[in-house]
Structure 1
Amino acid sequence: MAGGGVLEAAPSGVEMERAQQYKGRVTPFVIMACVVAAVGGFVFGYDIGISGGVTSMDPFLEKFFPVVYRKKNNKSKNNYCKYDNQGLSAFTSSLYLAGLVSSLLASPVTRRRGRRASILCGGLCFIAGATLNASAQNLPMLLLGRIILGMGIGFGNQAVPLYLSEMAPAYLRGGLNMMFQLATTLGIFSANMINYGTEKIHPWGWRLSLGLAGIPALIMTAGGLLLPETPNSLIERGFSERARAVLERIRGTESVDAEFQDMVEASKLAITIEQPFRNILERRNRPQLVMAVCMPAFQILTGINSVLFYAPVLFQSMGFGGNASLYSSVVTGAVLALSTLVSIATVDRLGRRVLLIAGGFQMIICQVIVAIILGLKFGDDKQLSKDFSVTVVVVICLFVAAFGWSWGPLGWTVPSEIFPLETRSAGQSITVAVNFFFTFAIAQSFLSLLCSFKFGIFLFFAGWITIMTVFVFFFLPETKGIPIEEMVLLWRKHWFWKKLLPPLDRRNAENGRKDNLEDVVGSSYPAVV
């Protein structure tokens, strides 16, 4: 790069705004494709929810973690520390460590072979992992099954949000993209319900819980065989005629010239990028990279996984009985699923920022209330009374509800819709990898943190929620209603990011078009803080 702030490569293949020229409607074909693809979210949620209930079942603990089984039934043991065991934590966290690695491997597959290929890889891994877990005879076999499941999650979470974002019309992209999160919450709820039932089946109920993950995995794999590839991916791989045919089919009209032209222009730059991970580090992609790291990290640092992974364990640590703890986790799972519907109904009307900020405030209040109750009324020699136990469950449900209509779905939606085509698969891989890294860290350390911090663990998470709410207020522009291929034009209107982006002050000699985006970015986009 020479002096004077001259950019050597075009910032985007999209030359102008055409959003108002887009035609089409939400066809049954789009709904069907999104529902089938979102089954990947269901399997993800099922594997999140199932582990917490299984790890609280005595037959499972007695077979694989006898030390924890003895601690659990030791009445004199510290209430906060009964489940503090790194091996037990590894059963949960190994899923996400494997997901982290496989999400990076999935990026070239998603880009070169298409979104469907990664969805199919994820489905096959889910089937293999569920089979191994259900038939496990020893701890290595159990952990291997979890690792293979994690590989499926890495491929599925890398491809499914991209698939949903590219298939959905711009004006409903937020709601349809949240099919993934809705399916995830339904998976968690289903897992909690199944655990509540299988806990009564001795001694093999836990095998049924783990093995049933294979059913939605089969649906995901079968659906992946029937799904069309996205038009964006087809154009990127050189199949323009097929891409236009698919676009006309999913929009229900032949008048798709404007949207198709945006895709073609975006692909011109995409096909010249051989190293998308290197490209994403360039200064012009800095805002998207920051969001790809911060959004999934903050999503996990809400502390939601401490509730979802270990809900039965957490409630048992607070003095709830076995059945009561599983029942409480069923309630939280139901609240999470229902609250996601609120987000689906409002995200494309109210926007992303309003939901994220309001959800953040509600979660902070709930975490502080739980910390105060546990600090005053619960400890090594104290059990929660019935009234305070009910209060804790209610407040945790309010916390889960806030997450369900804010950071839960939007932590995936925002990163999946902000990247230009040339870095989209790499950006999604970074999003998934960061999410899984923090998920792994929380899953592996939570039981130890609970033992050490006691009620202070909830204040720890409240502090992070405060930071991320401030971050959204100042640094996240509103993406509501902006076509995915024109998203790259948004950052130069933001008060902060426009100062960091390289200036575009001369004609690009390579493609002969004007790079001064002040002439490109019009007034049709929403106001940006």
Structure 2
Amino acid sequence: MPGGGFAAPATAGTEFEARITPIVIISCIMAATGGLMFGYDVGVSGGVTSMNPFLKKFFPVVYRRKQTGDDSNYCKYDNQGLQLFTSSLYLAGLTATFFASYTTRKLGRRLTMLIAGFFFICGVALNAAAQDLAMLIVGRILLGCGVGFANQAVPLFLSEIAPTRIRGALNILFQLNVTIGILFANLVNYGTAKIKGGWGWRVSLGLAGIPALLLTVGALLVVDTPNSLIERGRLEEGKAVLRKIRGTDKIEPEFLELVEASRVAKLVKHPFRNLLERRNRPQLIIAVALQFFQQFTGINAIMFYAPVLFDTLGFGGDASLYSAVITGAVNVLSTVVSIYSVDKVGRRLLLLEAGVQMFLSQVAIAIILGIKVTDKSNNLGTSFAILVVVLICTYVSSFAWSWGPLGWLIPSETFPLETRSAGQSVTVCINLLFTFVIAQAFLSMLCKFQYGIFLFFSGWVVVMSFFVLFLVPETKNIPIEEMTERVWKQHWLWKRFMDDDYEHNFSGDMNGDTKKVGNSNGFDPSSQL
């Protein structure tokens, strides 16, 4: 919040004037194509790894095991190399996100998205032309670098460019595109699996070039955010962009708040070290916990390996891919529900309702599989197989309107500007770390735990629901720069971590004494307009 003496600042309960302009909608749609690329990468790997020609070329051991059928139903695909094909992308993304934090802060959100598009295009080319496992893995690593840069920049871009009242809905465009990418990948896999000649998997991997190209072109067309421009000292340009995206000339209060937030941010020389300071712990703890819990719902285990999972349960090649398409469609539709409801019913209610729904569906799946599917026999039958698909869709739908999008939305809107880029970097890093862990371990866990894998994830759902109930505050319709005053200082636990002296320096005295802004040289944002 700005000091009280140099304009009419936004006070608690006051929203900055803003129209929903075409440039905001177009910019957000173009930026969110980064989610389309991410989703396609998530969805395509599971279908490709269930294709016999792909397995025969790169993973002959798994192919022979699958053909002979000697192993347990739950252990057909248990192979560390096969899991590395999926997980290497996320390990690379984890590393790339630290570089992305620097480029996001120093070069801007837009250029960081452009870098992501470049990595995606290079990775797609290598994967589609792969002749050996090394070439395949290098391609996945380049895709992972793209994921690291895109996941760092896109959520920040969306949160900063959107008007407060629809910030949640526009931010979830990223997650909606993730789900569309997964569905697109499942549809592509369903079609390419039928291509004769054994090269269908190349088409599946090569078609990732479409969302990669969309992201690159989109990054060339969008404007950078006012927050980013002001943070880099381009005040006049930032003010012009703010006027353009808000569709009004009455942008002075919001502009002054951004200038003051930028000034405070520049006083922080070590943003990652600053994240560990007491006043930033609530945001950091919640961001880390949300990313950890998001992965331990088990969603990516299902999304990565949906065709493999359904094949393991005895659905057969075509049926397993078809079932994966169904879950992908449910994923997309349910994310649309989140876009409609997130700024109306709030973040907490969606998270808590989904916890109950995910827990019940996972326990029911475990009971059915425990009774019907053993190591060597599969007695699911048509009716129980359909029930399993319905239960998985129930689970996927609840995740898609809650933990999926909100795991990204809440961290992107709660970190103050001085730690926002570093905070987003940590958020992406934790997400990719545990995505890598789940991707690398799931097939082995399925082999060892069998149906108990769903009980394992349902236990974590209970833990994370209690975490939300007691520790996650509501952030709907709160301007980003007012989170400290209106969210953290009002929470029963997190208010203890708020440093009044620091907050006083940041916000100034609302009674109008600008000398209390905490700047010894008498800084006045109006002098830089």
Global fold match (TM > 0.5)? yes
Whether the aligned pair in 2 keeps the contact of 1:21 and 1:258 (CA below 8 Å) is no
Query: What one-letter code is carried by the residue in structure 2 that aligns with 1:155?
Result: F
- 2:79 alignment partner in structure 1: 85
Residue in 2 that maps onto 1:397: 393
In the other structure, the counterpart of 2:370 is 375
- Determine which of 12, 29, 35 is the counterpart of 2:29: 35
Aligned to 1:219: 214
2:489 matched to 1:501?
no
Deviation per CA, 1:247-294: give whole Å up to 9, x if none. 111111111111111111111111121211011110110101101211
What residue in structure 2 maps to residue 518 of structure 1? none
Does 2:318 align with 1:328? no
**1:310 match: secondary structure:** helix
Partner of 2:181: 187
Given that 2:348 and 2:468 are in contact with CA atoms closer than 8 Å, whether structure 1 keeps it comes out as yes
Query: 1:487 is aligned with what amino acid?
Result: M
Question: TM-score, normalising length from structure 1?
Answer: 0.93
Contact 1:13 1:268 in 2 (8 A): no
Letter in 1 for 2:318: N
Distance 1:48 1:237 in 2: 34
Moved more, 45-54 or 375-384: 375-384
Give CA-to-partner distance per residue, 1:484-506, whole Å, 9 cap, x none: 11112220110011123345499
Q: Aligned residues, how many?
A: 504
Partner of 1:4: none
Q: Report 1:200-211 matches (<5 A).
A: 200-202=194-196, 203-211=198-206
Question: Structure 1: how far apart are the matches of 2:182 and 2:58?
Answer: 23
Indicate the SS of the match to 1:380: coil
Alpha carbons of 1:325 and 1:506: their partners in 2 closer, same or farther (altered >3 Å)?
A: closer
Q: Corresponding residue for 1:136?
A: 130
Give the one of 281, 285, 288 matched to 1:286.
281
Verify: 1:468 aligned to 2:464, yes or no. yes
Kept in 1, the 8 Å contact 2:87–2:440? The answer is yes
Query: Against the structure 1 CA distance between its residues 13 and 438, is the aligned structure 2 distance closer, same or farther, given a 3 Å change threshold?
Result: farther
CA separation in 1, counterparts of 2:443 and 2:395?
20
Flag structure 2 segments of 5+ consecutive residues without an equivalent: 509-513, 519-529
Residues 112-511 of structure 1 mapped to structure 2, 5 A cutoff: 112-202=106-196, 203-383=198-378, 384-489=380-485, 490-504=487-501
Alignment match, 1:7: none
Residue of structure 1 in register with 2:92 after alignment: 98
CA distance in 1, matches of 2:46, 2:267: 46
In the other structure, the counterpart of 1:523 is: none
Task: Quote the offset at 1:73 in angstroms.
Answer: 1.3
Taking only the aligned residue pairs, the percentage that are identical comes to 58
Whether the aligned pair in 1 keeps the contact of 2:10 and 2:254 (CA below 8 Å) is: no
Q: What SS does structure 2 have at the residue aligned with 1:320?
A: coil
Partner of 2:524: none
Aligned-partner Cα distance in 2 for 1:465–1:242: 46
Q: Distance in 2 between matches of 1:264 and 1:502?
A: 21
- 2:90–2:433 contact (8 Å) kept in structure 1: yes
Counterpart of 1:350 in 2: which secondary structure? coil
Letter in 2 for 1:164: L
What is the rounded CA distance, in whole Å, between the counterparts of 1:117 and 1:482 in structure 2?
Answer: 28
Aligned equivalents of 1:448, 1:14: Cα separation in 2: 56
C-alpha separation in 1, matches of 2:503 and 2:94: 41
Q: Is 2:75 the counterpart of 1:75?
A: no
Q: Is the contact made by 1:13 and 1:267 (CA closer than 8 Å) also made in structure 2?
A: no
Are the equivalent residues in 2 in contact too, given 1:50–1:188 (CA < 8 A)? yes
- In the alignment, is the contact (CA less than 8 A) between 1:276 and 1:422 conserved in 2? yes
User: Which sections of structure 1, spanning at least 5 residues, go unmatched?
Assistant: 1-11, 516-529
CA distance in 1, matches of 2:377, 2:75: 14
Contact 1:506–1:514 (CA<8 Å) still a contact in 2? no
Instruction: Tell me how far 1:514 sits from its aligned partner.
Output: 6.8
Task: Give the conservation status (yes or no) of the 8 Å contact 1:14–1:266.
Answer: no
Following the alignment from structure 1 to structure 2, what is the Cα–Cα distance between the partners of residues 160 and 514? 32
Deviation at 1:14, TM superposition (A): 6.9
Q: Which amino acid aligns with 1:160?
A: V
Q: Distance in 2 between matches of 1:130 and 1:366?
A: 36
Between 1:341-350 and 1:215-224, the stretch displaced more is 215-224
Q: Distance in 1 between matches of 2:448 and 2:389?
A: 22
Alignment check: 8 A CA contact 1:14 1:485 kept: no
Residue type at the aligned position of 2:498: L
Deviation track 1:281-332 (CA, whole Å, cap 9, x = no partner) reads: 1011010110121111111110001110000000011011100000000000
Distance apart, 1:340 and its partner CA? 0.3
**Mapping of residues 38-49 of structure 1, within 5 Å:** 38-49=32-43
Match of 2:103 among 109, 119, 123: 109
